[in-house]
């Protein structure tokens, strides 16, 4: 019998040395301990995680606020410096004693760092990073569920129990544990850097993304330009990845991405000028707060041109974050996987995260600039004033800004998913045609038309009427969409039909 010999050199199994050995042992231990627990009680763990993180946010909020009151009102009232602190531990201790707070002896050491800006920033950064991680994780899970529903199947059902809620975490563990392959002929350094260059800009975009009037890490005056720039920088990582992979399909993907980017950035940024002109500022918080007066004050319904701008922006944003029908850089039926053909494991997951984070960012921009930001469809003045428990609860549901912001963003992410699982992909020449010859003229018309409208008609009766008409139209569309969805949910079985073959002897 002929013995097979492998023509390539086989590497020996990896033996970890030094601290890596300890890390591996720790990982194995955690895996052994955690696996039975997680698989046994997935539901309680999910609920506990949600409750705990809510409590953590609330506790931080309260503690920060409390330290503010100590520092400002009760003691000498001097403001915090950036690095230093106005209160010593002893002063805090004295204050706590005067209020006879429980366990003040220990608490004073815990409260002391909270007055430092640096510490607050670190906590804020950690929160943003978690948000940045959780949103893609759940967007991926949700995409799989939505795709399953659209395609008359179930999607993930196993991991974690209830509808596979932990599927993305399991995938993440798998991806991190996979071998990090770098092709032999690839440009090693560029290949390794590229995923971070795609990942970090999306993370940075979250830094000045307001989730509410006060829920913003850095309230930057040029926030909008910063975010658009960060979304645009992502392309560098993609091109670098495609080029460094030393794979022709990857180069195709990279070139397509570059092509698509320069075409769609132009109409996208052009229509972004429309809400800027309306608000007169680049500050996202101010643009958001302009739209606090309920459904009919939202920018999209300001006049017909803002509405056109909103639609144009949404289509361009699909191209911007490489979603179908503009997913040419990674179109799997033509380019295998496009620019990330050669990537595996963790680096691949970075691209994946960047894509889903970008989906959230562009949806967030659409929501902030056009659709009332973090405000409810109800006017903000309707919020309850009295601080009874019931009112606080109702305000929390109806007027909670992060909730509404993320809810609206996910509606737009849902529409992106819906489009992806319905439409075929368009061709590169059609992409360029639709950009240069269709979208860009429309964007220019919207921009000029809006400028003229602002000068001639803003504040007149016509403007108000048009605003109401547009608002009611959009409300009708939304309501129609919801009723169709509800009808489909109730009658899906009947519409799809029952399996015909069920009682044959062989089946």
Partner 1 sequence: MSFEEICQVLKSQFGDAIEETAVDSCRPFVVVNGDKWGEVATFLRDDKRMGFDLLRCITAIDLLADDKLGCVYDIAALSAVSATNDMSIERELAVRVLTDRNNPQIQSVAKLWAAADWHEREAFDLMGIDFPGHPNLERILCPDDWVGHPLRKDYAHPLEYQGIPGTTEHELKSPRH
Partner 2 sequence: MADTIAPINPADASAPRQADVRTEEMLVNMGPQHPSTHGVLRVVLRTDGEMVLQSVPHIGYLHRCAEKIGENVAPYQYVPYTDRMDYLAGMNNNQAFALAIEKLTGLEVPERAKYIRVMFAELNRIASHLVAVGTYGLDMGAFTPFLYCFREREMLLDLFESACGARLTYSYITIGGVTDDLPDNFVDVCSEFLDYFEPKIDDYNNLLSYNHIFVKRTGNVGVISAEDAIRYGLTGPVLRGSGVKFDLRKAKPYEIYDRFDFDVPVGLPGGTAEIPRGVVVGDCWSRYYVRVKEMIESVKIIRQCLRDLPDADEKEGICNKKCKTVKLPDDEVYMEIENPRGQLGFYVKGDGSAIPARVKARGPSFCNLCVLEYAGKNCLLADIPAIIGSMDVVMGEVDR
Which stretches of the chain bind partner 1, using CB under 8 A?
1-2, 4-5
Quick one: DSSP state of residue 12? P
Q: Are 242 and 254 in contact (CB under 8 A)?
A: yes
Q: Answer yes or no whether residue 491 interacts with partner 2 by CB under 8 A.
A: no
Burial class (CB in 10 A: 0-12, 13-18, 19+), 189: exposed
Q: How many helices (H) and strands (E) does the chain have?
A: 18, 0
CB nearer to partner 2: give 171 or 330: 330
Q: 3-class SS at 342?
A: coil
The residue within the footprint of partner 2, chosen from 131, 137, 428, 443 (CB under 8 A), is: 428
Q: Closest separation between CB of residue 215 and partner 2, Å?
A: 36
Distance of alpha carbon 131 from alpha carbon 375, whole angstroms: 20
Shortest approach of partner 2 to residue 436 CB, angstroms?
A: 16
Q: Does 333 bind partner 2 (CB under 8 A)?
A: yes
**What is d(CA 277, CA 111) in angstroms, rounded to the nearest whole number?**
44
Q: How far apart are CA 484 and CA 495, in angstroms?
A: 13
| DSSP code of residue 297 | G
Question: What is the per-residue DSSP string for 65-113?
Answer: HHHHHIIIIIS--PPPPSSS-S--HHHHHHHHHHTT-TTHHHHHHHHGG
Asked whether position 459 contacts partner 2 by CB under 8 A, the answer is no
Rule CB under 8 A: say whether 506 interacts with partner 2: yes
**Footprint of partner 2 on residues 231-260 (CB under 8 A)?**
248-249, 252, 255-256
Shortest gap between Cβ of 181 and partner 2 (angstroms)?
Answer: 16
Q: Which does 5 bind (CB under 5 to 8 A by kind): partner 2, partner 1, none?
A: partner 1
- The structure tokens 């492998």 sit at 6
Query: Which stretches of 371-460 are DSSP H helices?
Result: 389-399, 401-420, 428-433, 440-456
DSSP code, position 439: I
Q: How far apart are CB 1 and partner 1 at their closest, in Å?
A: 6
Please name which of 205, 144, 151 lies closest in space to residue 361, comparing C-alpha atoms.
Answer: 205
**Smallest separation, CB 507 to partner 1 (Å):** 36
User: Looking up tokens 């179908």, which residue turns up?
Assistant: 324
Which is closer to partner 2, CB of 99 or CB of 427?
A: 427
The interface region with partner 2, picked from 16-24, 45-53, 333-341, 375-383 by CB under 8 A, is 333-341
Confirm if 371 and 408 have CB atoms less than 8 A apart.
Answer: yes
Residue 121 interface partner, choices partner 1, partner 2, none, CB cut-off 5-8 Å depending on type: none
CB of 52 to partner 2, least distance (A): 37
Asked if residue 504 binds partner 2 (CB under 8 A), the reply is: yes
Q: Which is nearer to partner 1, 5 or 503 (CB)?
A: 5
Contact between 275 and 369 under an 8 Å Cβ cutoff? The reply is yes
Using the rule CB under 8 A, is 436 a contact of partner 2?
A: no
- Find which of partner 1, partner 2, none residue 6 binds, CB within 5 to 8 Å per kind: none
Q: Rounded to an integer, what distance in angstroms lies between the CA atom of residue 82 and that of residue 60?
A: 19
Exactly one of 38, 192, 421, 451 binds partner 2 (CB under 8 A); that residue is 421
Q: Which does 91 bind (CB under 5 to 8 A by kind): partner 1, partner 2, none?
A: none
Report the nearest approach of partner 1 to the CB of residue 10 (Å): 17
Could you tell me if 135 and 356 are in contact, meaning their C-beta atoms sit under 8 angstroms apart? yes
Which entry of partner 2, partner 1, none binds 77, CB below 5 to 8 A by partner kind?
none
226 lies in the binding site for partner 2 (CB under 8 A): no
- Cβ at position 87, least distance to partner 2 in Å: 60
- List the x/- string, 74-113, binding to partner 2 by CB under 8 A: ----------------------------------------
Three-class SS of 321-357? CCCCCCCHHHCHHHHCCHHHCCCCHHHHHHHHHHHHH
The entry of partner 1, partner 2, none that residue 324 binds, CB within 5 to 8 Å by partner kind: partner 2
Stretch of residues binding partner 2 (CB under 8 A), selected from 148-156, 196-204, 393-401, 453-461: 148-156
Tokens 């309306």 locate to: 278
Token couple for 327: 């997913």
Is residue 490 within the footprint of partner 2 (CB under 8 A)?
no
Residue with tokens 């800027």: 276
Smallest gap, in angstroms, from Cβ of residue 395 to partner 2?
A: 41
Return left, alpha or beta for 460; rule: phi > 0 is left, psi -120 to 50 is alpha, else beta.
beta
Of residues 3 and 381, the one with the C-beta less far from partner 1: 3
Smallest distance from partner 2 to CB 366, Å: 22
Give the nearer residue to partner 1 in terms of CB position, either 1 or 82: 1
Please list, in sequence order, all residues whose beta carbon lies within 8 angstroms of the beta carbon of residue 423, skipping any fewer than 6 positions away: 324, 325
Out of 62, 97, 180, 332, point to the residue binding partner 2 (CB under 8 A). 332
Q: Which member of 88, 152, 464, 478 binds partner 2 (CB under 8 A)?
A: 152
Residue 489 phi/psi, 5° resolution?
-65, -40
> What token pair was written down for 267?
């109409």
Tell me the site size for partner 2, rule CB under 8 A: 39
Inter-residue contact 181 to 245 (CB < 8 Å): no
Q: Footprint of partner 2 on this chain (CB under 8 A)?
A: 147, 150-153, 248-249, 252, 255-256, 324-325, 327-328, 331-334, 336, 421-430, 497-501, 503-507
């Amino acid at each position: 019998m002929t013995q097979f010999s492998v023509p390539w050199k086989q590497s020996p199994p990896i033996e970890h040395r030094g601290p890596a050995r300890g890390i591996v042992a720790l990982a194995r231990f955690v895996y052994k301990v955690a696996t039975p627990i997680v698989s046994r009680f997935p539901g309680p763990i999910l609920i506990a995680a949600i409750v705990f993180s809510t409590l953590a946010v609330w506790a931080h909020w309260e503690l920060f606020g409390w330290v503010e009151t100590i520092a400002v009102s009760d003691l000498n009232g001097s403001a915090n410096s950036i690095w230093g602190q106005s209160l010593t531990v002893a002063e805090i201790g004295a204050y706590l004693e005067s209020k006879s707070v429980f366990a003040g002896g220990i608490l004073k050491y815990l409260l002391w760092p909270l007055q430092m800006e640096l510490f607050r920033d670190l906590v804020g950064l950690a929160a943003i990073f978690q948000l940045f991680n959780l949103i893609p994780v759940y967007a991926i899970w949700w995409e799989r569920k939505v795709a399953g529903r659209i395609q008359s199947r179930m999607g993930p059902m196993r991991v974690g129990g209830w509808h596979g809620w932990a599927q993305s975490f399991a995938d993440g563990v798998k991806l991190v544990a996979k071998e990090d392959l770098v092709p032999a002929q690839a440009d090693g350094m560029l290949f390794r850097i590229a995923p971070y260059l795609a990942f970090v800009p999306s993370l940075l975009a979250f830094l000045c993304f307001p989730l509410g009037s006060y829920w913003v890490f850095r309230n930057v005056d040029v926030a909008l330009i910063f975010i658009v720039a960060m979304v645009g920088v992502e392309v560098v990582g993609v091109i670098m990845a495609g080029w460094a992979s030393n794979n022709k399909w990857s180069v195709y993907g990279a070139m397509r991405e570059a092509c698509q980017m320069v075409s769609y950035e132009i109409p996208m940024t052009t229509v972004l000028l429309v809400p800027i002109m309306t608000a007169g500022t680049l500050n996202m918080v101010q643009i958001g707060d302009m739209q606090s007066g309920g459904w009919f004050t939202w920018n999209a319904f300001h006049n017909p041109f803002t509405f056109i701008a909103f639609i144009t922006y949404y289509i361009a944003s699909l191209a911007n974050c490489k979603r179908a029908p503009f997913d040419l850089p990674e179109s799997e039926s033509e380019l295998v996987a496009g620019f990330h053909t050669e990537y595996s494991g963790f680096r691949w997951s970075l691209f994946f995260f960047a894509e889903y984070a970008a989906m959230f960012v562009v949806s967030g921009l659409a929501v902030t600039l056009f659709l009332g930001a973090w405000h409810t469809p109800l006017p903000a003045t309707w919020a309850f004033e009295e601080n009874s428990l019931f009112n606080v609860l109702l305000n929390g549901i109806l007027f909670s800004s992060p909730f509404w912001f993320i809810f609206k963003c996910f509606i737009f992410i849902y529409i992106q998913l819906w489009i992806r699982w319905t439409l075929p992909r368009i061709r590169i020449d059609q992409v360029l045609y639709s950009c240069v010859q269709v979208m860009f003229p429309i964007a220019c018309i919207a921009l000029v038309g809006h400028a003229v409208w602002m000068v001639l008609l803003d504040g007149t009766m016509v403007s108000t009427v048009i605003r109401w008409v547009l608002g009611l139209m959009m409300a009708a569309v939304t309501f129609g969409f919801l009723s169709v969805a509800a009808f489909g949910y109730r009658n899906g079985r009947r519409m799809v039909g029952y399996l015909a073959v069920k009682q044959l002897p062989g089946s």
